[in-house]
Structures are given as C-alpha cells and as structure tokens.
Amino acid sequence: MLSIAITGANGQLGQSFRATAPLFPGLELKYFNRTEFDVTNQTVVQEAMDFYRFDYLINCAAYTNVVGAESNIEAANLLNGVAVGYLAQAAQKNKTHLVQISTDYVFDGNKLEPYRPTDLTNPLNVYGQSKLLGEQLVAQYCDRFSVIRTSWVYSEYGSNFYTKIKSRADQGQTLWITDEYIGTPTYSPDLAEHILSGISKDNLPLGISHFAGKDVMTWFDLARKLLPGADIRVAPKETPPLLVNRPKNSALAR
C-alpha cells in the first residue's frame, strides 16, 4: 500500500484530503498538523522523512494570508519558500515523490487568456514571490516531483472565500464583492481527488501542472453562484494605494 503524508493537515486542503481519502481505500494517508510536523524546522523535516520514508508527501502547509505577507516577508518566504526546499532535499534523499501546491499568483495577470504551465511567471506580490521560490527550490533539489498550481480555492472546510461570505450572509449582511479580477475558482475536494486519483493510477503529472475549476469568472460571479439567495452587490472599484497588488487575470488553463 502506498504511504502518503499530508503536511498542514488542518488547513482547508488538508481537511479536503481527509474528506476525500475514503474514495481511495488503496492509499494510506497520514495527516500531520503544524505541531506534529513543522515544515520550517529542517531537523524535524529530515528526521520525519528519514523515519517514515513516505512514497508521497503532499505539502498543504503554507502562508496563505496574501495581505499579511506584504508586511511579513520573512515569514512568508520561510514557509512558502525555504521550508519547501527542506522538504525537497529530504524527499530527494528518501525517494519520496514531493507534491507541492502552488498558486495562480505566480503570474502578473497581463495575459488576456488563461495561463498555461509554461507561461512566464512574474508575481506582483510577496505571497506570489514566496510561492515561486518554493517552486524553484523543488525543481532545484528533486528529480521527480509534481508542482500543482491551483487558484481561488474554496470549500466548506477551514477559512476561505465561501466560509467568509456565508457567515456574513447568515447574519443578514449585504455582500459587496469585487468584479475587478477574473480567475478559475477551484473546489478544494476536487483538487484533493485529482491528486489522489493521479497517485492511485500512477499518472500524476510530473513537473509543473495546473489544476483549477473549468469556469472563468469574477469573485462577484462566484459569490452569486455559491449563495444564490443572498443580497450580493458589486463593490466600488478599489482606489490606490491598494493593500496588495493582485493579478487582474489569474485564470489557469491545464
């Protein structure tokens, strides 16, 4: 039976793996939260990976606060970049296939079409830069890896766009949602299923690939799709200085 480690297991995607794993009885998943497996501690990473010698490690640990990263550059780079390098070195040593989750925010959004895996990266913000560093370190240290870029991840698990707008709508609030950005929203359990299916069939894409929802839309469109009965209106245009720069178009094509 293939053994698979999930790091950052209490986050949105980690919880989505827990919910999806029963569909794959042939895979043995082990879940590690931040206290059990701190990916920023190189000794912990090396010892855990030498001990368990997982077949796959799916890294769901990340610094995901895009606005917070702007003022916490070191913390974002450590978790999304340097720590991914620790995982990559230990994966290479133990012949563990590293699956690193990356982001649409590695792109600058100037393209008019959805981005393909081979398109040039040019992140606009610290979060995107730190995730790009993670991608580069995986490729530097590992011979066999999968970097899977995804975008606008939502679900009923953890804290995300859906859970945030639902809680405000449940309190009877009007939701003011921007229509200034377009992307490909991704249901988190679909991403978990894509990865586990690829592992179980031994056809998970190697190198850099994209996995995102099929429909291109704005945050406003997504809110209306997820909460059709709520009072949802287009937010006024943001005026500079913005808290963080985001790509106007970060839709992903496979």
Ligand X SMILES: NC(=O)c1ccc[n+]([C@@H]2O[C@H](COP(=O)([O-])OP(=O)(O)OC[C@H]3O[C@@H](n4cnc5c(N)ncnc54)[C@H](OP(=O)(O)O)[C@@H]3O)[C@@H](O)[C@H]2O)c1
Q: Is 167 or 174 the residue whose CB approaches ligand X more closely?
A: 167
Judged by beta carbon, residue 93 or residue 164, the one nearer ligand X is: 164
Q: Number of helices (H) and strands (E), helices first, in the chain?
A: 9, 12
* Phi, psi of 200, deg, nearest 5: -70, -30
CA separation for the pair 148, 162 (Å, rounded): 22
Q: Considering the rule CB under 6 A, would residue 130 count as an interface residue with ligand X?
A: no
Residue 8 engages ligand X in binding (rule: CB under 6 A): yes
Counting contacts by CB under 6 A, is residue 61 touching ligand X? yes
**Contact flag: residue 148 with ligand X (CB under 6 A):** no
Q: Where in the sequence numbering do the catalytic residues fall?
A: 127
Q: How far apart are CA 184 and CA 211, in angstroms?
A: 9
Compute the least distance from the CB of residue 231 to ligand X, in Å.
24
Cβ proximity to ligand X: between 26 and 227 the closer is 227
Structure tokens at 225: 């799709």
Our finding on whether 165 is near ligand X (CB under 6 A) is no
85 touches ligand X (CB under 6 A)? no
Q: Which helix (H) or strand (E) holds 251?
A: none
Q: Which of 18, 30, 34, 166 binds ligand X (CB under 6 A)?
A: 34
User: How many chain residues bind ligand X (CB under 6 A)?
Assistant: 26
Residue 222 binds ligand X (CB under 6 A): no
Nearer to ligand X, 92 or 150 (CB): 150
Are the CB atoms for 84 and 132 separated by under 8 Å? no
Rule CB under 6 A: say whether 146 interacts with ligand X: no
CB 152 within 8 A of CB 104: yes
Interacting residue with ligand X among 5, 7, 69, 249 (CB under 6 A): 7
- Beta strands, E only, 82-174: 97-103, 145-150, 153-154
Smallest CA-to-CA distance from 225 within 171, 152, 158 is with 152
Q: Is 92 in the site for ligand X (CB under 6 A)?
A: no
Whichever of 84 and 236 has its CB closer to ligand X, that residue is: 84
Distance, CA of 58 to CA of 212 (rounded, Å): 17
Q: Which residue has the tokens 């469109």?
A: 221
Residues that bind ligand X (CB under 6 A): 7-8, 10-14, 34, 38-40, 60-62, 64, 79, 101, 103-104, 131, 150-153, 158, 160
